[in-house]
Structure 1
Amino acid sequence: MTDASNPASHAASSPVEPAARAASARPTDTVITVVEPEARAPLGRLREWLSAERLTVRMVRPEAGDPLPAFEDLGDGLVVLGGPMNAHAVAAHPWIPELGELLRRVVAEDFPAVAICLGAQIAAEALGGATAAPSPYGTERGVVELELTEAAATDPLFSEIVDESVRAAVRAGVSTQDGTRLPVLVSHDDGVVRLPETATLLASSAKAPVQAWRMGKLLALQHHPESTPARVEFVESRVTARALGLDADDETLMSLTDADLPAEAVAAGQRVRAEAERVEPVVQAFGRALAHTLARQAHAHRVSAANGGE
Structure 2
Amino acid sequence: MSKTPVVLVVQNELDAPIGYLEEWLFERGVAIEVIYPFKGDVVPTEPGDFAGVIVLGGSRGVHDEDQWLWLKQEKELLRNVIKSQTPTLGVCLGGQLLADANGGKVGRTNKPEIGVGFVEFLPEAKDDCILSSVVDSPVAIPVPQYHQDAILELPQNAKLLVTSDDCTVQAFVLGKSAWGLQFHPETDWNIMSDWLVSEDEVRKTLGITDDSVKNQFDELGEGMKNTWRALGLAFAETVTDFAGKKSK
- TM-score normalised over the length of structure 1: 0.73
- What RMSD over aligned residues (CA atoms) do the two structures have, in Å? 2.4
2:247 equivalent to 1:274: no
Q: SS of 2:168's equivalent?
A: strand
2:125 equivalent to 1:184: no
- Out of 124, 132, 143, the position equivalent to 1:159 is 132
2:30 equivalent to 1:55: yes
2:183 equivalent to 1:223: yes
Provide, for residues 87-143 of structure 1, a one-character-per-residue CA deviation record: whole Å limited to 9, x for no partner.
0001111111221111111112221110000011111111111000x22x2211001
**How far apart are 1:234 and its partner, in Å?**
4.8
* 2:55 aligned partner: 80
Provide, for residues 187-228 of structure 1, a one-character-per-residue CA deviation record: whole Å limited to 9, x for no partner.
011110000110010111222111110112011100011111
Provide, for residues 262-292 of structure 1, a one-character-per-residue CA deviation record: whole Å limited to 9, x for no partner.
xxx9x92122122123222442134321221
8 Å Cα contact 1:34-1:79 kept in structure 2: yes
Unaligned runs of 5+ in 1: 1-25, 164-177, 246-264
2:115 equivalent to 1:139: no
More deviation in 40-49 or 137-146? 40-49
8 Å Cα contact 2:91-2:184 kept in structure 1: yes
- Out of 218, 232, 235, the position equivalent to 1:291 is 232
Provide, for residues 18-66 of structure 1, a one-character-per-residue CA deviation record: whole Å limited to 9, x for no partner.
xxxxxxxx98111011001112211122212211221111011111111
- Out of 100, 104, 107, the position equivalent to 2:75 is 100
* 1:200 aligned partner: 159
8 Å Cα contact 2:92-2:183 kept in structure 1: yes
8 Å Cα contact 2:46-2:81 kept in structure 1: yes
8 Å Cα contact 2:55-2:94 kept in structure 1: yes
* 2:86 aligned partner: 111
Q: CA–CA distance in 2 between the matches of 1:59 and 1:234?
A: 20
8 Å Cα contact 1:41-1:81 kept in structure 2: yes
8 Å Cα contact 1:152-1:159 kept in structure 2: yes
Unaligned runs of 5+ in 2: none
Letter in 2 for 1:219: W
* 1:68 aligned partner: 43
**How far apart are 1:306 and its partner, in Å?**
1.5
Q: CA–CA distance in 1 between the matches of 2:145 and 2:218?
A: 14
* 2:98 aligned partner: 123
Q: SS of 2:180's equivalent?
A: strand
- TM-score normalised over the length of structure 2: 0.90
Q: CA–CA distance in 2 between the matches of 1:29 and 1:244?
A: 45
**In the comparison of the two structures, how many residue pairs are matched?**
246
8 Å Cα contact 1:230-1:273 kept in structure 2: no
Between Structure 1 and Structure 2, which shows a larger proportion of strand residues?
A: 2
**How far apart are 1:73 and its partner, in Å?**
2.6
Aligned-residue sequence identity (percent) comes to 28
Provide, for residues 152-184 of structure 1, a one-character-per-residue CA deviation record: whole Å limited to 9, x for no partner.
122232111224xxxxxxxxxxxxxx7511111
**How far apart are 1:240 and its partner, in Å?**
6.8
Q: CA–CA distance in 2 between the matches of 1:156 and 1:244?
A: 38
Larger Rg: 1
* 2:19 aligned partner: 44
* 2:169 aligned partner: 210
Letter in 1 for 2:31: T
Question: Kindly tell me: are residues 203 and 54 of structure 1, through their superposed partners in 2, closer, same or farther at Cα, counting changes over 3 Å?
Answer: same
